[in-house]
Structure 1
Amino acid sequence: MNLSAQEPLQVIWKHSLRARRLALRIAPHEQKLVVTIPQGCTSAQALAFVQKNHGWISERLKKLEKAPSFSANNTILIEGTPYRIVHSPEQLGGAWLENDRLMVSGDAAFINRRVTDFLRSHAAAVLKREVQSMAQHTGLRPTRVDIRDTSSRWGSCSSTGRIMLSWRVIMAPELVRHYLIAHELSHLQHMNHGPLFWQCVRSITPHKTQAEAWLRQKGPLLLQAR
């Protein structure tokens, strides 16, 4: 499938018994288009749906092309604040924050890995603390909190009460993190997205509208950052 003068876009046709309607998403790292096809939908209908949304797909791909890169002199967000990655090869310590900079020591070949390791470690400390704080405040206590490397969603909650958050959430500002955590904790009471679920979310956080707007605008880029 060609959407520009660049390389053709690979399309993954994903048939689903659970899906209720046709849906599109871009797999960020691979830059592939994933088309979810519900039961009873024909191939012709799916293709027409993709063609109809040609503009949306093109715009999303343009945004992904501008995703942050974890390399020297680039700027990334940490807890919503911009930090410039500064390579300091003569120093020791891996990666650390220093004023408005993220310092990275060692060989230049390991900058990306060290930035990623720092963000994952920082995310584990900050996000787990924020989940614990909200859990104590609301009485909604997960059985476990895991920080994972996901590039298609920000978090999830299992039927056993285990909450998963993407380490990439650490790049979002506090109000967005507050909303995402409230969202997953609300699933401990309502394993769906019905009216009672959203009522629970709103009772925990006032940031739903603002956070969702931020995620629509910035989220795809952060999921692609690496």
Structure 2
Amino acid sequence: MISPDSETVVLRPSILGTPVDCPVRWCRSTRARRVSIRIDPRAGEVVVTLPMREPRRAGMALLTTHAAWVMQRLAALAPPVEFIPGAEVMLGGTPHVIRHDTSARGGAFMDGASIVVSGQPEFLARRVKDFMRAEAKRRIIVLAEGHAATLGVKIRAFRMKDTRSRWGSCAPDGTLAFSWRLVMTPDWVLDYVVAHEVAHLRELNHSPRFWAHVESLTPNREAAQDWLRDNGPALLRVG
């Protein structure tokens, strides 16, 4: 991929519809075989991917054809949640309020239903994110090691990422990777995602044997999948 560029494009949902400003990010890809569009919920914009030799007007034509769909999907995005004092973020499915306390020590930490952040205001957002990544890793390791013991498998390493489309992954060498944003989900949803990736240490596929391992580790497969489908995009709007 080469560096993308962004702009605001005016779209109409119909011939007589009111023009609306639409944030668009253009990407050219050596792997793309056709023009495609998708919504990036984290950035709150539509991404148009073009093959290297495809003119930008081909992307504009696709945007125009699907203008109503694009505008509907953008309007349906959850509002962004910034890491600022007074903002409410979820931890384990429970709301916590960010509280800035310059007299506190220790970076960021939980205090009841609050996330207390020490230090200067300009460091607050980074400290909240660092805290949430560390808390995600702590919770995930506990769950993963328990599930690994049940299946009799070994985890090589853990990685915390900030992926846009995958909540977790399992590498052939036994390294498990997870989105730190999972720390915001209810405990039973987090448990399912961790169980899913640990089960891949036995079956690096999605065969019936794999799903049997998952269901031996957690009873929440279907409910957790539904929760992530319905609520996952909102997690990408946080921070």
Bin the TM-score by the shorter chain: 0.7 to 0.9
- Report whether the alignment pairs 1:95 with 2:108: yes
CA contact (8 A) 2:39 2:73 kept: yes
- Report which of the two has the higher share of helix: 1
- Report whether the alignment pairs 1:176 with 2:186: no
SS across alignment from 1:137 = helix
SS across alignment from 1:92 = coil
- Report whether the alignment pairs 1:206 with 2:219: yes
In structure 2, the partner of 1:40 is none
In structure 2, the partner of 1:119 is 132
Cα distance, 1:62 vs. partner?
3.0
Alignment of 1:122-141 (within 5 A): 122-141=135-154
Q: Identify the match of residue 25 of structure 2 among 10, 14, 20.
A: 10
TM-score under structure 1 normalisation?
0.80
Amino acid at match of 2:137: A
* Larger Rg computed on CA atoms: 2
RMSD after superposition:
3.3
Amino acid at match of 1:203: S
Cα distance, 1:5 vs. partner?
2.0
In structure 2, the partner of 1:221 is 234
Aligned residue pairs total 220
In structure 1, the partner of 2:4 is none
Q: Identify the match of residue 71 of structure 2 among 58, 70, 78.
A: 58
Cα distance change, pair 133–60 in 1 and its aligned pair in 2 (3 A) = farther
Amino acid at match of 2:219: P
Structure 2: tracts of 5 or more residues without a match: 1-8, 12-18, 51-55
CA contact (8 A) 1:28 1:152 kept: no
Cα distance, 1:86 vs. partner?
1.2
Cα distance change, pair 5–56 in 1 and its aligned pair in 2 (3 A) = closer
| Matches of 2:10 and 2:216, distance apart in 1 | 45
- Report whether the alignment pairs 1:149 with 2:162: yes
Structure 1: tracts of 5 or more residues without a match: 38-42
